[in-house]
Amino acid sequence: MQQPTSSSSSPSRPLPDGSTNNRTNNNNNNNNTGRPNSVIWAQLSKSSLEKGQNQSRIRSGLEQSKTTTSIVDDTSDTESLENSLFYPKGRKDSRSVSRRERIKKIMCNPTITESIPLAPRVLSNGTHEFDPTIIVLSLDGFRADYLERELTPNTLSIGTNGVWAEYMQPSFPTLTFPNHHTLVTGLYPSVHGIVGNMFYDSNFGEDFNNRFPAKSWDPKWWGGEPIWTTAVKQNQRSGVIMWPGGEVLSAVRPTYHVPYKTGTVLEKMDTVLNWIDKPREERPTVMAVYVPDIDSTSHDFGPDGKKNQKALVEVDTALGVLLEGLQARNLDKVVNLVVVSDHGMSYVNTSKCIYYDDFIDTSDLLFEESLYPHLAIWPKDSKKLNDIYHTIKRAQRRDTLPFQVYRRFVMTRRDMGVVMAGVHGWDNENEEMRAIFLARGPSFPNLGSKKLQSFENVEVHDIIARTVGLPVKDGATDGVRNGFVSKPC
Ligand SMILES: [Zn+2]
């Protein structure tokens, strides 16, 4: 059984860019909303179980082979506590890659962004001119090792005819909405504010819930500027199909938009090809397409179930239709195509639950919410924050419970339910949470079977931006490329 990890560390240990400041509180860019606030993320409530409440919440299985995470925070200023948590000490999960090792590897290996020209040019397919154009497909829940199953030849062909990463590391928490907004803004969830698919914001005194569009499309929740908005502001055009956040009622909307949770994957490919066939002055240069099918089936039947395999084949077949459509239009070397995922997937063992009300007094809590596999907790009285945090820490150490507890400030830089067969949301350094990145087209080199070094998904925004000549963040914001990616060894 995996042992819990300690979260204590030296207060003066610098961040990768050499700073020691709290980046989350740094309002040096207009993308920083200062949200989210206030949380302890822990586990399940036994009292909920005893009360027979919502079974889906009660049985949020927490497989003890994984280190899950709890986050503690509120708006009170307890500097010493923050500093003590900057870098959790080495976790015992042998599958994890230590942050220090990863940074070292990144520093000594150029990343993909360096291969992409900053000044793309107009290309022709022989009959029509094309402004620099990119299609970004997100295959929700496509775990990195699925590529090895020999079920997805079309997906794999994108990498072998261009570039692909060993894996792409999702941001924490490894959930759909946070990571999709990270992919298109280049910001960590703690900065853009979408820290879960469902969460409570103590500044607003309201819940965000991705299942209630009337609430969740309010732009007040969504920090940062998605790439499709930047494209429109820069006099380009963009098209969004179902991508989480695409329907946000912001002042500048994508040029074309297909609502969330509509259409089959084949219909989405047809829509993309229809956009491609538009006249140059109407054609979107940035297209973002969301495909949830693989994630949905692996939640219900597990990452290795037959239905998940079937979904992989179906999605890959649809991707093949898009590839054929591009080839038929002689666009293989004209239009860039990127395939990513937001996170991986793990099996859930529902017999291994942790009951947080065994060690904390829930009457002290303002709010608690199961966010499989996390729990966010707000103290009623912010002065009790430290007491509650330390109580949870003591229980974790005493009983060697396989979870971690953090304040929200750690989310940006950390090292790192529901009756379901598969769950994601775990530690973003867990191997089973690894996502994919494959790309081909005129802006990408053809490296054949050679895989690129893994990288974090906050990089994807700049990769997209560079291919179509949009401004890159380049470490200027809390996207935190940190500059280290381009340092020579
Ligand atoms: Zn997802």
Do you find a cis peptide bond into 36, omega within 30 degrees of 0? Answer: yes
Query: How open is the CA angle 374-221-474, to the nearest 5 degrees?
Result: 90
Do you find a cis peptide bond into 170, omega within 30 degrees of 0? Answer: no
Q: Which two tokens stand for residue 20?
A: 């020691």
Residue 23 has a pLDDT of 28
Mean pLDDT of 233-243: 97
Please tell me the distance from the alpha carbon of residue 299 to that of residue 17, in angstroms, as a whole number.
37
**Range of lowest pLDDT (51-60, 167-176, 242-251, 379-388):** 51-60
Residue 4 has a pLDDT of 30
Indicate the average pLDDT of the chain: 72
Give per-residue pLDDT as tens, 354-374: 777 777 888 877 655 555 666
Give per-residue pLDDT as tens, 54-85: 222 222 222 323 334 444 433 332 222 222 11
Give per-residue pLDDT as tens, 316-342: 999 999 999 999 999 999 999 999 999
Residue 368 has a pLDDT of 58
The CA distances from residue 358 to 46, 47, 136, 208, 384, in Å, are 7, 9, 45, 28, 18
- Residue 328 Cα to ligand 1 middle (Å): 31
Please say if the pLDDT value at position 484 is more than 50.
Answer: no
**What count of other Cβ atoms lies within 10 Å of the Cβ of residue 26?**
15
- Residue 71 sits at φ, ψ, to 5 deg, of -125, 130
Closest CA to 345 of 314, 319, 308, 310: 308
- Residue 162 Cα to ligand 1 middle (Å): 25
The CA distances from residue 276 to 39, 117, 122, 281, in Å, are 45, 22, 15, 11
Please tell me the distance from the alpha carbon of residue 187 to that of residue 185, in angstroms, as a whole number.
5
Please say if the pLDDT value at position 207 is more than 50.
Answer: yes
Residue 120 has a pLDDT of 59
Q: Between residues 338 and 484, which one has the greater pLDDT?
A: 338
**Across the strands, what pairs with 237?**
none
Q: Between residues 268 and 453, which one has the greater pLDDT?
A: 268
pLDDT band of residue 474 (cuts 50, 70, 90) is: low
**Across the strands, what pairs with 351?**
none
Give per-residue pLDDT as tens, 292-315: 999 888 888 888 888 999 999 999
Q: Please give the distance of CA 194 from its chain centroid, rounded to a whole number.
A: 10
Query: How open is the CA angle 90-95-97, to the nearest 5 degrees?
Result: 55
Residue 387 has a pLDDT of 85
Beta strand 133-139 pairing with 286-291: parallel
Residue 98 has a pLDDT of 45
pLDDT band of residue 449 (cuts 50, 70, 90) is: confident
Q: Between residues 30 and 445, which one has the greater pLDDT?
A: 445
Q: Is residue 432 a contact partner of residue 451, using CB atoms and an 8 Å limit? A: no
pLDDT band of residue 103 (cuts 50, 70, 90) is: very low
For the ranges 133-142, 161-170, 180-189, 453-462, the maximum mean pLDDT occurs at 133-142
Burial of 12 (0-12, 13-18, 19+ CB in 10 A): exposed
- Residue 345 Cα to ligand 1 middle (Å): 9
Whether 127 is catalytic is no
**All residues with CB under 5 Å from ion ligand 1:** 140, 176, 295, 342
Report which DSSP code applies to 452.
B
Please say if the pLDDT value at position 209 is more than 80.
Answer: yes
Please tell me the distance from the alpha carbon of residue 208 to that of residue 181, in angstroms, as a whole number.
14
Residue 211 has a pLDDT of 81
Please tell me the distance from the alpha carbon of residue 334 to that of residue 130, in angstroms, as a whole number.
7
- The pTM of the whole model exceeds 0.85: no
**Range of lowest pLDDT (205-219, 256-270, 279-293):** 205-219
- Residue 394 Cα to ligand 1 middle (Å): 33
Residue 369 has a pLDDT of 57
Please say if the pLDDT value at position 15 is more than 50.
Answer: no
Please say if the pLDDT value at position 231 is more than 70.
Answer: yes
Please tell me the distance from the alpha carbon of residue 108 to that of residue 89, in angstroms, as a whole number.
23
Mean pLDDT of 141-165: 95
- Residue 172 Cα to ligand 1 middle (Å): 12
- Residue 292 Cα to ligand 1 middle (Å): 7
Please say if the pLDDT value at position 139 is more than 50.
Answer: yes
Please tell me the distance from the alpha carbon of residue 100 to that of residue 103, in angstroms, as a whole number.
5
Largest pairwise CA distance in the chain: 70
- Residue 19 Cα to ligand 1 middle (Å): 32
Residue 115 has a pLDDT of 52
Mean pLDDT of 214-228: 92
Residue 30 has a pLDDT of 33
Give per-residue pLDDT as tens, 369-426: 555 666 777 778 878 888 888 888 888 888 777 777 777 655 544 333 334 455 677 7
Q: Is residue 419 a contact partner of residue 59, using CB atoms and an 8 Å limit? A: yes
Report which DSSP code applies to 386.
H
Please tell me the distance from the alpha carbon of residue 327 to that of residue 311, in angstroms, as a whole number.
24
Please tell me the distance from the alpha carbon of residue 360 to that of residue 354, in angstroms, as a whole number.
12
**Range of lowest pLDDT (104-113, 205-214, 282-291):** 104-113
Which is the catalytic residue, given 174, 176, 255, 297?
176
Mean pLDDT of 138-146: 96
pLDDT band of residue 38 (cuts 50, 70, 90) is: very low
pLDDT band of residue 88 (cuts 50, 70, 90) is: very low
Residue 70 has a pLDDT of 44
